[in-house]
Amino acid sequence: MDIKDALALQLSFLREPELQKAIIEQGQLVEVASGTPILREGSYVKTIPVLLKGLVKVVREEAEKEMLLYYIYPLESCIVSIHCGINQLKSSVKAIAEDDSIALLLPSQSVEEWQRKYTSFNDFVLNMYQKRFDDVLNAFNALAFQSLDSRLLSYLTSKVSALENANIKMTHQELGDELGTARETVSRLLKKLEVEEKVKLHRGWIEVL
């Protein structure tokens, strides 16, 4: 796949010919192995990723723990990257590939211009802001109104859907960090879900039934 193919097959909603020409000239396609950081906390954002394949998680690191903020799915971007890139700010989050991924990197200095000049690109950015707002609202609702075991099961099923794989390779500690709770609590709840035949536990991975 090259950038022309991506624009024709996946990013056709970026419809203005001048915009497509600029993306072809200035964009860069990269393959990112699972577990590789795409954005580091505390670094300036020079390029803004548009994910074409795979899955990326965006996390906030605090007291040596990582709290999951949201996932980036194909044909989405990281709104924190857009905000920090446009305003020349250091990133307050970290983005890590959860699966082998392909991303189109766009120069941050061009993104603000494209948003002003091209309706389709502005719509794309505004849609990302709306989606991330919805993610934050859903996370708040889960914290306020869902029990922890329901949040855990919802998290696992969402990850299965995103990865298209029922086998989740995560330790109980990693799950606890992403859900903002203790490893012992996660272990107890996973045992409960296993008794309910909703998951099956293995060493180093979890099978969602």
Long-range contact set of residues 174-181: C-beta below 8 Å, sequence gap at least 24: 177/65, 177/66, 177/67, 178/59, 178/66, 178/67, 178/68, 179/68, 179/148, 179/151, 179/152, 179/155, 180/65, 180/67, 181/148
Q: What are φ and ψ of residue 14, in 5° steps?
A: -85, 80
Q: What are φ and ψ of residue 207, in 5° steps?
A: -100, 120
Instruction: Report the pLDDT averaged over residues 9-29.
Output: 93
Q: Does domain 146-208 have CATH number 3.30.720.210?
A: no
CATH of 3-138, one of 3.40.640.10, 3.40.50.720, 2.60.120.10, 1.10.630.10: 2.60.120.10
**pLDDT exceeds 90 at position 153:** no
- CA neighbor of 108 nearest in space, from 129, 132, 125: 125
User: What pLDDT, in 10s, does the model give residues 86-114?
Assistant: 888 888 888 999 888 999 999 998 998 99
**Amino acid 64: pLDDT:** 66
**Amino acid 77: pLDDT:** 92
Res. 144 pLDDT band, cuts 50 70 90: low
**pLDDT exceeds 70 at position 160:** yes
User: What pLDDT, in 10s, does the model give residues 176-186?
Assistant: 777 777 788 88
Distance CA 68, CA 160 (A): 16
- CA neighbor of 72 nearest in space, from 91, 40, 97: 97
Instruction: Please state, in angstroms and as integers, the Cα–Cα distance from residue 47 to each residue in 43, 77, 171, following that order.
Output: 11, 11, 32
pTM (two decimals): 0.76
**Amino acid 31: pLDDT:** 93
Mean pLDDT score of the chain: 85
* Domain locations along the chain: 3-138, 146-208
**Amino acid 196: pLDDT:** 84
Find how far residue 4's CA is from the centre of its chain.
24
**pLDDT exceeds 80 at position 52:** yes
Selection from 59-68, 92-101, 149-158, 172-181 with the highest mean pLDDT: 92-101
Q: What are the beta bridge partners of residue 90? A: 44
Instruction: Report the pLDDT averaged over residues 11-22.
Output: 93
Query: H-helix or E-strand containing 109?
Result: helix 108-117
